[in-house]
Structure 1
Amino acid sequence: MENSRNKTLSIIIPSYNEERTIVQILNKIISVQLIEQTQKEIIIVDDGSKDSTKELVNNYISSHPNESIYLIQHTVNQGKGMAIRTGITKVSGDYVIIQDADLEYEPEDYNLLLPELIYNQKKVVYGSRFLIKENKHSYQSFYYGGLLVTTVTNILFNQHLTDEPTCYKAFNSEFLKSIPLKCTGFEFCPEVTAKVAKYGIKIKEIPIHYYPRSINEGKKIRWTDGIEAIWILIKYRFTD
């Protein structure tokens, strides 16, 4: 039995030049009613944005005083992985999920992942874009690159994943904080997956929705990040 205290989901949002979508994603997040009266803690890490992201977030915080929203600022751009690591240090919730600052993922889907953490006591659960066939993908190179990274993950770590590079990775907070992360860029995904797998954990996946954006709309990941992801997986398979 869970104790009577309401649990809290900490939502880490690494942000870099996201003025076009940051307010919209925050509106989506605060409108979600989480299962079991789970509370929300929103941690935005502005990674040295050169646009108006941080001003928009500060204004949003001022206009929503009843919401638990916090802004942390990197004075210079350090990379998505570093932003996530900074966010992890500020987490006070029972569970953590990573949320991109764009609109590719649907915050309503938090309620699809939370049961695995709350009821089944999973330490980690991933949301898979590939388990809903209706989901579209922006570029064939990203689609096949994601499949390749996932296949390499499964071979190296004896997993049965369909979508290793997914953004929606959710964790028990204490467990995530115990993982010694070293990433600074997009390699957060393969590093945390490798290190979770080395604990002997079979990662559970849940189908989630996906609405991809284009490079012109601000998508930052590139095909070279897929090559780096494979290298990181190989590296952490044989080292700590």
Structure 2
Amino acid sequence: MPEARRIESLTVVVPAYNEAKTIRRVVESLFAVPFERRLEVIVVDDGSKDGTADALKGFERPGLQVLRHEKNQGKGMAIRTAIAAATGEYVVIQDADLEYDPAELPRLLEAAEEQEAPVVYGSRILREDNPASYLRYYWGGRLISLWTNLLFFSHITDEPTCYKLVRTDLLRSLNLTCTGFEFCPEVTAKVLRRGLPIAEVPISYRPRSIEEGKKIRWNDGVIALWTLLKIRLFG
């Protein structure tokens, strides 16, 4: 059996808006992971008012970039800014709130190598011992995944997951235009519309409450459903 092709470099994109309390811990955690390949971390401070970018002052590592939007433009726009600057072979999204553990990321890379997969998602659903999220988020996520599968005849379990690992050249070819939280279903829809498979691996998850700073709201779920349908029908 031929040896799996090794992925030599990874860009981790960290969109951040008013995450001064957690951003340094997230970046420190990323650089503590033994990736055993070239790591690039691009933090995009999306017009924060709490000194998010300042929280990283004095923290320097090879491969770390901190970019800043003067005005808040949305999570999708922050990710698009980072994708344009990425030099890694693959890109993965890391939220700045520590709901997702960076120690899980090597598993996504291993799946991409072993399956020669251009896209790998980390699924919270596939790991049974995860704590229950707030019901509206849990069932909202399940609904979005079901809707995705109905529209695209796919079999993914966790469309709204933050951990989306995508080959960089593919990501740039998708003509991504969304600027808000709907950016993530846009990626999913455009990948599936091309007939490309999405591999999944189980990951851990620590849900955050609105009081702790969770920013996504119920109407973002409605927009996600519409985004998936719109791309399925019109591209």
Q: Same fold (TM over 0.5)?
A: yes
1:188 CA displacement:
1.0
- Is the aligned partner of 1:42 residue 2:36? no
1:179 CA displacement:
0.9
CA distance in 2, matches of 1:222, 1:83: 18
- Is the aligned partner of 1:152 residue 2:115? no
- Is the aligned partner of 1:165 residue 2:166? no
> 1:182-203 deviations in whole A, cap 9, x for unaligned?
1100001111000000110121
1:116 CA displacement:
2.4
Q: In the alignment, which residue of structure 1 is the partner of 2:30?
A: 29
Structure 1 residue runs of 4+, over 4 Å off?
1-4
Q: Helix, strand or coil: the match of 1:141?
A: helix
Q: Contact 1:45 / 1:86 at 8 angstroms: preserved in 2?
A: yes
CA distance in 2, matches of 1:232, 1:143: 19
Pick aligned residue for 1:112 from 107, 110, 124: 107
- Output the TM-score relative to the length of structure 2: 0.95
- Output the TM-score relative to the length of structure 1: 0.93
CA-based RMSD: 1.4
> 1:137-163 deviations in whole A, cap 9, x for unaligned?
331000000000000000001110110
- Is the aligned partner of 1:103 residue 2:98? yes
Identical aligned pairs, as a percentage?
48
Query: Which amino acid counterpart does residue 121 of structure 2 have in structure 1?
Result: Y
Unaligned regions of 5+ residues in structure 1, if any?
none
CA distance in 1, matches of 2:65, 2:222: 34
Q: Contact 1:42 / 1:68 at 8 angstroms: preserved in 2?
A: yes
CA distance in 2, matches of 1:177, 1:58: 30
1:75 CA displacement:
0.5
Query: Which amino acid counterpart does residue 23 of structure 2 have in structure 1?
Result: I
Query: Which amino acid counterpart does residue 150 of structure 1 have in structure 2?
Result: S
Which moves more between the two structures, 117-126 or 72-81? Answer: 117-126
Q: Helix, strand or coil: the match of 1:156?
A: helix
Q: Contact 1:19 / 1:51 at 8 angstroms: preserved in 2?
A: yes
